[in-house]
Structure 1
């Protein structure tokens, strides 16, 4: 007889899929359901930011993403009736990858294709999305959650099911049933005056799929976002429709008629639409993300303007933060109090993200419609949008020290010495000591199911003491990696530690550490540095905050 999964995840968008992947990589049983009968079509959020690409590298998802994703194209702006653009601007400046930031630039991938890759990866972990299954209500208790699910087949027949789970996570979007039943506040505003018609449409000829395209006339704006440099599917965003129809979903014929009228480009030949929607910017967030054994993530906890490419990526980062913590609690290796740090860490980040994306929304839409046609500043995105500086400074489980520079949640930490609360940099060119094996990278060593303790410096006695302390904690949840400077040999005990030679110097250079200084960098399963310490006391203090 099959056992009931430990965690029920409601909603199979990016947040739910990534959370499922992380939990399965931790050996936690999962059931992920979605009320829709088919997978949602639509380009929707297409930008995958560098911070998310780093997580995908750690999770093993990145190769499949890179096979089909492309760099973010430039935006071409046009005068009505003109075939050639008046200007072409990059949304974000190209940044050359470095050893410590190998995924320096965002990628463009339609959300439906993106989700398909995540579902395929989840299937390799013996878990699949269950469509046509809707959570209607639940009761939660100190030791369990009872979920009432309606399963609907393709002919509309319904079967009611009541099942008990250890945990429930709502990743069920802005209209979240889970959030509403919990009674969480969802404070903010809805911009009813700023309706945006959205959709995917095939364009047979007339525009270059290697670019994004935009036209503006007084009070009206149209943008076409390509799904790829060789495809014909474009997502359109159209604002400024007449007030009496602005709140209604646009039809294909209405869009084409308005497109020709606004752009003067009757040479553009359209095919069918594959998805149509009407969007009103919602700028909202909750003030907590957990109530006992029930949690929320992604759009269920926050929604915001589409500008800046932060929404999908923030949802994925919610899942990354929650996944490893929930896994440790379910395994009995941490107390449920660890889950309180999920909201503690993420709400600070989401609050600033909401502020940034709202400001960017005004800049992009209001500015581009009203200002000079030759001014492309409305498309410019700051480097903060890459999310590489997002941090959890002030978290109760971060072992901060005098070197930690506390800033805003969206700080720029690139180029600084490795710091607790910030992302852990990558480093290639690491070779097992005395081996002829191909070099590896730190991202390849990091794991969603392990804390990785990096030992830097050639102080063998110091390393031995750290190994002794780390040995007190669960072996299946902590891995030690000794990173020796190039040309150094090992003289002390290594225990179960993996010993690597920094043959190309990227680890010491990227982390800005001295070869003769003992430094311990503890990297959490979500790729965040939990501690940068120089003695065993700091290591012990950090892990005492995590494990029972």
Structure 2
């Protein structure tokens, strides 16, 4: 049986998209033109919001096992800045570790090399029966009202090429900045290329350096930044500026230039795992969909690495598109739902390009990698879809600004923003250990959270949820501590009834225990609606389902 969706490109965007679709019961085929999986740490910073999405997807523990937090308790400094020839830093940037609050369990992000990251994602896909087809390239495609025809070229072990013509219901290009899918669609990719800011980049083993912090040397017009990868390894990623061309340095050339710039001859260099060149591009499309064909990730936007937003934005593309495409493919939602993918994401990407370009310009002051302050927005916890046509924004929406990266501090939970976590929740009528909201949320269904109200009011909400397509939404009733008597019927009716013993749910969502408030959380962890009656729940879901 031919899979429903062809995903072109097997980087993090394509892998996460495939994972979401497979979890939703949608079959996929993933192809990659490379003969082997790419090596190199590349985009290694996983931001807090991405970790929350991974928590909801059920893959967080596997990623955390292979990575390491940006900052740890007791860590004193984050970046060491040196004068040439000196072994002790002239300045250190403090780590500023903070305790994670209950509603935001992943504050500092995670460091994991992109090659390792992709391997972990492939292992999760294998558990769902999916594999990556290497040496398989999309040559062209044709689009029809009810399907897409893909023309593929497969290269076998002997180097012989074989042509294939296959039909799919949908095609998604996650094939990078040089996307063949975007080019064939004819989408604009406007922006600029900073050729004067070429960099040599790569991964190399360096003995004699602290592998729990960054190291930086600035000698105008050149700079070198070394980024640690893991405390169990002496492998560092480097960015060397001041390159006059895009030539990839050899290991020996890099070492020679390192010695000349830093004056450090006390370090021992080992294997260079990966070496390349990089030229900053700042570009984005004005559309992300044409009929049955989509683009996501670097195929739709590219930007400077400043702030570590690129890979994370790509993953948010996948999480936004995945649940919507699954509903449409299964006939539960109208095709117009897919228009909201670009509607929601383009606004965020435009803001992200402004943020990262501003940070890049500050970082690149006077042609060197000057240290600049990292704004809190880089955690991506404030990324929102305010103004979206499928978000039911009600009371309190005036607090939401037009800034797609603005995090609203305190107060009542808002539609269009991330749904906070809440630990210390105990399932009523069970002996289970306490759980969290992130453990309850899932990528295969909306979560309808019911706070406060009496049994009759909660029953009216349950009736609305019961009329929705099977398994498309889960009802979660959150009760204040001690208010669990007489809820056996709600448990037996299929609702997940939780006692908020630590008060983190009510406090974190800014809600009163006496008032009925329903918070509808989308499969991507975004609040779709905050309403005060069952009718509001019906109004929201009319925006989603057929």
Distance (whole Å) between structure 2 residues aligned to residue 259 and residue 116 of structure 1: 31
CA-atom RMSD in angstroms: 1.3
| SS at 1:476 equivalent | coil
| SS at 2:230 equivalent | coil
User: 219-228 vs 151-160, which deviates more?
Assistant: 151-160
| SS at 1:344 equivalent | helix
Distance (whole Å) between structure 1 residues aligned to residue 409 and residue 258 of structure 2: 42
**Residue aligning to 2:389:** 396
Distance (whole Å) between structure 1 residues aligned to residue 266 and residue 242 of structure 2: 23
Shift >6 Å, 4+ stretches: none
Structure 1 residue 247, shift from structure 2 partner: 2.0
**Residue aligning to 2:509:** 511
| SS at 1:475 equivalent | coil
Instruction: Work out which of the residue numbers 154, 159, 162 in structure 2 matches 1:159.
Output: 162
Structure 1 residues not aligned, in runs of 5+: 372-377
Report 1:223-262 matches (<5 A).
Answer: 223-241=225-243, 243=244, 246-262=245-261
**Residue aligning to 1:21:** 19
**Residue aligning to 1:375:** none
Structure 2 residues not aligned, in runs of 5+: 72-77
**Residue aligning to 2:541:** 543
User: 496-505 vs 507-516, which deviates more?
Assistant: 496-505
Structure 1 residue 429, shift from structure 2 partner: 1.1
Counterparts in 2 of 1:281 and 1:214: CA distance versus 1, 3 Å: same
Distance (whole Å) between structure 2 residues aligned to residue 490 and residue 7 of structure 1: 48
Structure 1 residue 370, shift from structure 2 partner: 8.4
The answer as to whether partners of 1:51 and 1:388 remain within 8 angstroms in 2 is: yes
Structure 1 residue 437, shift from structure 2 partner: 1.6
The answer as to whether partners of 1:137 and 1:148 remain within 8 angstroms in 2 is: yes
Instruction: Work out which of the residue numbers 177, 181, 184 in structure 2 matches 1:178.
Output: 181
Distance (whole Å) between structure 1 residues aligned to residue 307 and residue 97 of structure 2: 16
The answer as to whether partners of 2:54 and 2:60 remain within 8 angstroms in 1 is: yes
| SS at 1:193 equivalent | helix
Number of residue pairs matched by the alignment = 535
Instruction: Work out which of the residue numbers 420, 425, 429 in structure 1 matches 2:424.
Output: 429
Distance (whole Å) between structure 2 residues aligned to residue 93 and residue 284 of structure 1: 33
Q: TM-score, normalised by structure 2?
A: 0.96
Q: TM-score, normalised by structure 1?
A: 0.96
The answer as to whether partners of 1:426 and 1:442 remain within 8 angstroms in 2 is: yes
Distance (whole Å) between structure 1 residues aligned to residue 465 and residue 432 of structure 2: 27
Distance (whole Å) between structure 1 residues aligned to residue 484 and residue 180 of structure 2: 58
Distance (whole Å) between structure 1 residues aligned to residue 372 and residue 123 of structure 2: 34
The answer as to whether partners of 2:52 and 2:106 remain within 8 angstroms in 1 is: yes
Instruction: Work out which of the residue numbers 125, 128, 132 in structure 2 matches 1:125.
Output: 128
Distance (whole Å) between structure 1 residues aligned to residue 485 and residue 343 of structure 2: 41
Distance (whole Å) between structure 1 residues aligned to residue 14 and residue 205 of structure 2: 29
Structure 1 residue 272, shift from structure 2 partner: 2.2
Structure 1 residue 100, shift from structure 2 partner: 0.7
Distance (whole Å) between structure 1 residues aligned to residue 224 and residue 156 of structure 2: 39
**Residue aligning to 1:406:** 400
Report 1:85-484 matches (<5 A).
Answer: 85-90=89-94, 93-203=96-206, 205-241=207-243, 243=244, 246-366=245-365, 369=368, 378-404=371-397, 405-407=399-401, 408-484=403-479
| SS at 1:101 equivalent | coil
| SS at 1:179 equivalent | helix
